[in-house]
Amino acid sequence: MATHDPSSEKPTLRRLARARRDAVPAAERAAAAAAAAALIDARVLAPLPLGATVALYAAMRSELSSEALAAAAIARGLVIAYPRAVADHTLQFHRAAPADLAPGRFGIPEPALDAPAIALDELAVIVVPGLLFDRGGYRLGWGGGWYDGTLARTSALRVGLAFEHQLVDELPRAAHDQPVDLVATEIAVHPGARGRVDRAADGAKDRR
């Protein structure tokens, strides 16, 4: 008897999630991004020591912008970094401000190649986009595996950033899928992969 492959559902889920997110008006999207940034600032950024590095993303299409979060991090004396896609299907992070980014691979804004590189083990927090997230912290991305490959190589606290409507009970997952620790929306910061949150908090205390 043939077994059902849960990953076969992902293309349909991507299409539906993308259509729903694309339909959100720009003003509503901006308000949601600001509200989510305020929640992350209070819950995640506030406990970090000065100079800790927060990895953000440059929003593509209808993704929630991380610019309000960048401003909050800078105001707290934190370092912000953005990714470049590299050949081994992982992301290389570079110190940069939002104004420094320019379209790169896949048309996504990226830091310049000569911007200061930041190693994955130097990241305190990595903020991750997605089309959908579930209650266990698993995410549905575009399907390229760039973030999964990167998250597998860092112990940074992983924070998903999304609309509340992008949070679902459970997503199909594969063995290589990497969960986030928290999912921040315009309404709340939801627990994801709970066990990692406590370990990351302990690590942040050690770095003080």
78-119 tens-digit pLDDT: 999 999 988 777 799 999 999 999 998 778 899 999 999 999
How does pLDDT run across 24-78, given as a tens digit for each residue? 999 999 999 999 999 999 999 999 999 999 999 999 889 999 999 999 999 999 9
Q: Residue 53 corresponds to which tokens in the numbers above?
A: 């590095």
Query: Using CA atoms, how far apart are residues 111 and 196, in angstroms rounded to an integer?
Result: 29
Domain range annotation of the chain? 28-207
Mean of per-residue pLDDT scores for the chain: 88
Quote the pTM value: 0.87
Q: Over the stretch 152-161, which tens digit does the pLDDT of each residue have? A: 999 999 999 9
Please give the CATH superfamily to which domain 28-207 belongs. NagB/RpiA/CoA transferase-like (3.40.50.10420)
Which residues touch 19 (CB under 8 Å, ≥6 apart)?
Answer: none
**Higher-pLDDT residue of 173, 39:** 39
Residue 130: C-alpha distances to residues 61, 127, 140, 142, 207 (Å): 12, 10, 6, 8, 29
In the numeric block, the tokens 């594969």 are attached to 174
